[in-house]
């Protein structure tokens, strides 16, 4: 049940079987239905999610009522609104399952106990955050310097399964283009 997360952690930090048992005693597994929300805007984010199966989108609703996708999270990726999780202030984001999914949940109440009993998790979460930070910097780079078409081709070459997996209107929102234009790009290919 916790195999995927233990494997992922061991890529970045040491974790004996006994330590893995301590860790998993502090985590829970949750099945998530397609379109179910893990977080809704206006609520405080009190959990951190490791995607064991499935795909999530983090989005916000703009002043004009449109849903703008900020990021996706697939297997072996952590997702939450860190600012809300950290400050206890309401989140401006929603996190929703794109497909039937399974997450491993770290509740904020268990976070300090985890870091106290398993200090190597500091290293693991440092690397998770550094990688996520770096990915967002690249994204900003792409938003400013690549057209929607170029971003689509880049994404399609690097993550072809992902492009197939996500509904077209969500991918278009993530890329900042219209679904119609994305449809044309797909047809061209």
Q: What residues make contact with its own copies under the rule CB under 8 A? A: 60, 62-63, 68, 70-71, 82-83, 86, 92, 115, 119, 122-123, 125-126, 129-130, 132-134, 136-141, 143-145, 176
Contact 163, 58 (CB under 8 A): no
| 103's tokens | 């997450």
CB of 55 to its own copies, least distance (A): 18
Nearer to its own copies, 1 or 137 (CB): 137
- Say how far apart CA 67 and CA 160 lie, in whole Å: 23
Which CB sits closer to its own copies, 97 or 125?
Answer: 125
- Give the C-alpha separation, 106 to 147, whole Å: 37
C-beta closer to its own copies: residue 6 or 60: 60
Residue bearing tokens 């805007």: 41
Nearer to its own copies, 88 or 119 (CB): 119
94-97/56-61 β-pairing? antiparallel
- Give the shortest CB-124-to-its own copies separation in angstroms: 9
* Minimal distance, residue 168 CB to its own copies, in Å: 18
C-alpha to C-alpha distance for 110 and 150, rounded to whole angstroms: 43
């Amino acid at each position: 049940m916790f195999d995927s997360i233990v494997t992922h952690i061991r890529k970045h930090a040491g974790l004996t079987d006994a330590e893995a048992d301590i860790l998993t005693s502090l985590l829970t597994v949750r099945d998530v239905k397609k379109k179910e929300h893990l977080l809704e805007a206006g609520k405080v984010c009190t959990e951190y999610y490791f995607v064991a199966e499935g795909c999530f989108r983090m989005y916000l609703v703009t002043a004009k009522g449109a849903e703008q996708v900020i990021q996706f999270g697939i297997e072996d990726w952590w997702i939450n609104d860190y600012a809300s999780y950290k400050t206890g202030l309401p989140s401006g984001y929603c996190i929703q399952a794109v497909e039937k999914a399974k997450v491993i949940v770290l509740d904020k109440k268990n976070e300090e106990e985890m870091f106290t009993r398993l200090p190597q998790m500091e290293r693991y979460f440092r690397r998770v955050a550094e990688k996520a930070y770096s990915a967002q910097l690249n994204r900003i780079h792409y938003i400013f310097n690549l057209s929607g078409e170029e971003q689509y081709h880049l994404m399609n070459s690097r993550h072809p399964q992902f492009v197939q997996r996500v509904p077209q209107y969500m991918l278009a929102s993530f890329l900042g283009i219209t679904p119609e234009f994305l449809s044309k790009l797909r047809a061209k290919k």
